[in-house]
Structure 1
Amino acid sequence: MSRPRIVVVGLGDTGVLTPIALRRHGDVVGITAKPEFVSGQELGLRLARPEAWTRDYRIAYSRFRGLDRVRIVHGSATALDTENRTVRVRLADGTAGDGTVAEEPYDVVVIATGVTNGFWRHPTLQDSRGVDADISLPHQRIADAGSVAIIGGGAAALSSAAQVAERWPDKNVDLYFPGDRALPHHHDLVWDRVRSRLESLGVGLHPGHRAELPAGDVAGGDGGDAANHNKNDDDDDEHLTSAPVSWTTGQAPTTADVVIWAIGRVTPNTGWLPAEMLDDRGFVRVEPTLRVAGHSDVFAVGDVAATDPLRTSARNRGHLLVARNIRAHLQGGPLRDYRPPRRRWGSVLGPLRDGLIVFTPPGRGVRVPAPASDVVLQRLITHQLIYGGVRKRSR
C-alpha cells in the first residue's frame, strides 16, 4: 500500500510544527511563501534587537532535522481544488508574481496559512533579501526616532514597548490602549506585574485611548489573495507611521517620530480557498476535531482556523492534535476534539536582558534568568524537543 500524500500549506509558527509531527506517517509536502522559517513571535525583540531575534526565530528549513523527510515547495498557494484533490501553487521562480504554476496532489491537506498582522506577519512571496528588509528597515526607523508611540493593548504592543524602552532608554516610549488595563484576555495578576515592569523601564502608560484608524486601516491587512499580495521592498511601511494619532475617546491628537500600530486586528490568509470553507470574517470553519466542515480530507490549524474567539490552536499544541487526527482519519479511527483554554498564558514581554517571565493561566509569573532562557528554553526545549532538533548554523 502506497504512503498517503499529506500537503501542509503554510510553514510559519504552527505550520512548521505540523509536518514535523507527520513526517513518519506519509509523504509530506510543505508549501511556503518564505525562503526560510520566519516566525511571527516576539515582535518587540525583532524591532529592538533583530540580531538576537534572528538567532532563534529565523531558521533555514534545512536546519530542522524534523523536516529532512519533508519536501519543501517555495511558492504561494493560489487555489484549492477539493474535487481533484490538488493545491495550485505559484512558484518563486519568477518576478512580479509571474512564476511557474504547479499543482500538488494530496490525500490530506492541512491549511496553516495564518493571518496578516501588521508589517511582521504577511503572506508575501519573498526571497531572503525581502526578509532581510522586513527585519532591518523597521529596526532602523525606530533606532533613528527620538519618540515612539505604540498603539494596542495586547502582547505584541506591550513587548514592543518594553523591548524598545530597554534597548534605547533615552527614547520617549509611550503605550496607548483602549481599556482601563491592557491584556484583557490574561489574568488580572499578569497585567499587574507587566504594568510594574513597563513603568520601571520608563514606558508612559495611557489607558482609555482608542485610536481612530487612518485611511486604509493600517492594522487590518487587505484581505486579498495571498498570491497577489506582493509588497515592494521600497514601499513605506504603512504600519509604522509618523502622522498624528487621533482618538475616538476625546483626547487631543498624539504625535511621535514613529507610531507602531499593534492593535491586534488581523486578516486571515485565505483568499486562495473556496468561499464555502470560510466564516463571515474569512477564517476557516472547522469542526472541534480541526477538520474543515464538510471536507473529510481537509484540516486547518493555527491562527487561520476558527476554533474559538481567540483561535488558540496556534498556541496550545494544536499541531499535535491535527497530526494525531490525520493519522486516525487515514486509519479509519475516531478523531479527538480540540479544547481551547479559558485564558491566554505564556510570555508577554519576551526575553529582556535580565531574563524572561512566563505566566501560567492562573496569572502566576515564573522568572527565567537570561542564561537559562537561552540555553534551556530555546536550545533544549524549543529547538530540540518541540522542533525535533535544529542543526547549528553553518559557517
Structure 2
Amino acid sequence: MSRPRVVVAGLGDSGLLTAIHLARADVDVIGISSKPGLVSGQELGLRLARPDAWARDYRIAFERFRRLDGVELVHDELTGLDVGARVVTTRHRTIGYDVLVVATGVSNGFWRHPRFQTEADVTEALGSAHDRLAASASVLVVGGGAAAVGSALQVATRWPEKSVSLAFPGERALPRHHPRAWGVARRRLAAAGVALLPGHRAELPPGSGADEITTGPVAWSTGQPASTADAVLWAVGRVRPNSGWLPPDLLDEQGFVRVEPTLRMPGVPGGFAVGDVAATDALRTSARNRADRLVARNVVAHLQGRPLASYRGRERRWGSVLGPEADGLRVFAPSGHPFRFPAWSVDRVLQPWIVRRGIYGGVRRGR
C-alpha cells in the first residue's frame, strides 16, 4: 500500500520546519519552493549590513538539511490549486496530494517575495542592496517594526561614519512589542548614533509600493518638512500574503488563508496552513511561535483519524529585534525583557547546537 502524500507548499522558515517534522512520519513529503534553498526573512538588518555573516546562518541550501534527505524537493513557482482534484500546479508540474500544507508566507519590501530565484539571483539581490547602502553617506530607515529598528542599528554599527535616521509614525517604535522592548532598543539606537524621528508618517513613493531602496526626499503626511537621504530603506510593514495562486474563497478579506484553530483550512479536505500566510490571529503569530510542530502533528493525526490540537496565538510580538551586536544577541520575551546570548556563544552554541542541531535536526557543512 502506498504511503500518503503530503505536499508542503513553500519552504521558508515555517514550511521548511514543517517538512522536516513530517519527513520523520510514515508519509511521502514533497516540498515546493520558488527558492533554491532556505532564504530566510529574518534579520533584515544583518542581511543588509553584513550579507556574508547573514548568509552563513539564514541562507542554507536544502541538500544541507539532513532531515530533508527523504523529501522530494521541487524548485518551481506555484500557480494554482484544484481543491476537488487535490492537485497543486506549478509552472512546470501538476502534483497530487493527500494532505496539503500551505506555508507560502508573505511579501514585504524587496527582501521577501514569492518570485522564482536561482542561486545567482539570490546572490545578486543580496549584494546589490548591501552595495547601495555601503555607497550612501546618509541612510533614512522608514518604519516602526522590528525590521526597521534592527536595520537602523545594524547599518549604524556597520558604518559608524554614516548619518542614519529612523522615522516611525507613533510616539515609539515596536508598537506590537511590550514597551520594555522599545526602551532597550531606544538606548541601543542612541548609543549607535541613530537619529530618532517619532511622529513621522511617510507618504509612500507613487507606484513603488515601497519595494525598493530609493533616494530622498521623503515627504511626511504628518506635516514635517521633507527629509533627504542618499538611501531610503522602506520597512513600513506593507505585508502582502503570497496567496495569489489559491482560490479566492479560501482567503479572508486581506488575502490571508482562513484557518480553524487546528490550522485546518475550512472547505479544503486535507488542507492546512501555517506561518505568516495563515490567518490564525490578529498578529498571525504561528510562524514565531513554532506552530510548525503542531501542524505536523495535526497532519499525522488527521491521517490516522485522531483528534487535532489547537493553536493559541500571542498578544505581543517577541524574539530578536536588533540582531547580533558586538556584545551578543538579545532575544526579547513577550514581557519585553531581553535575554542576551553573549557574543562568543552565538557562533559556538546558539547556531551550531540550538539552531542547526536542535531545531533543524542537523545541517551539513556548506561549501
Shorter-chain TM range is over 0.9
Q: Deviations over 1:31-51 (max 9, x none)?
A: 000111111100000000001
* Residue 83 (structure 2) aligns with: 82
2: CA distance, partners of 1:4 / 1:319: 19
Whether 1:208 aligns to 2:199 is yes
Aligned residue for 1:72, secondary structure, equals strand
* Residue 289 (structure 2) aligns with: 316
* Superposed counterparts of 1:1-395, under 5 Å: 1-25=1-25, 26-90=27-91, 101-219=92-210, 238-394=211-367
Q: Match for 1:43: what amino acid?
A: L
> What residue ranges of structure 1 are gaps of 5+ in the alignment?
91-100, 220-237
Q: Match for 2:163: what amino acid?
A: N
Aligned residue for 2:278, secondary structure, equals coil
Q: Percent of pairs identical after alignment?
A: 60
Q: Report if the CA contact (8 A) 1:218-1:261 is conserved.
A: no
Q: Match for 2:272: what amino acid?
A: F
2: CA distance, partners of 1:144 / 1:270: 36
What is the root-mean-square deviation of aligned Cα atoms in Å?
0.9
Q: Match for 2:178: what amino acid?
A: H
Q: Report if the CA contact (8 A) 2:283-2:315 is conserved.
A: no
1: CA distance, partners of 2:160 / 2:2: 60
1: CA distance, partners of 2:167 / 2:23: 44
2: CA distance, partners of 1:60 / 1:165: 30
Q: Match for 2:19: what amino acid?
A: P
2: CA distance, partners of 1:131 / 1:109: 27
Q: Match for 1:89: what amino acid?
A: T
Aligned length: 366
1: CA distance, partners of 2:216 / 2:162: 18
1: CA distance, partners of 2:315 / 2:283: 10
Q: Report if the CA contact (8 A) 1:283-1:305 is conserved.
A: yes
Q: Deviations over 1:180-233 (max 9, x none)?
A: 0000111111111110000000000010001111112524xxxxxxxxxxxxxx
* Residue 97 (structure 1) aligns with: none
Q: Deviations over 1:91-146 (max 9, x none)?
A: xxxxxxxxxx2111100011011111011101111111110111000000000000
Q: Report if the CA contact (8 A) 2:281-2:313 is conserved.
A: yes
2: CA distance, partners of 1:123 / 1:342: 28
2: CA distance, partners of 1:384 / 1:126: 27
Q: TM-score, normalised by structure 2?
A: 0.98
* Residue 222 (structure 1) aligns with: none
Q: Match for 2:37: what amino acid?
A: E
Deviation at 1:354, TM superposition (A): 2.2
> What residue ranges of structure 2 are gaps of 5+ in the alignment?
none
Q: TM-score, normalised by structure 1?
A: 0.91
2: CA distance, partners of 1:393 / 1:118: 28
Deviation at 1:375, TM superposition (A): 1.8
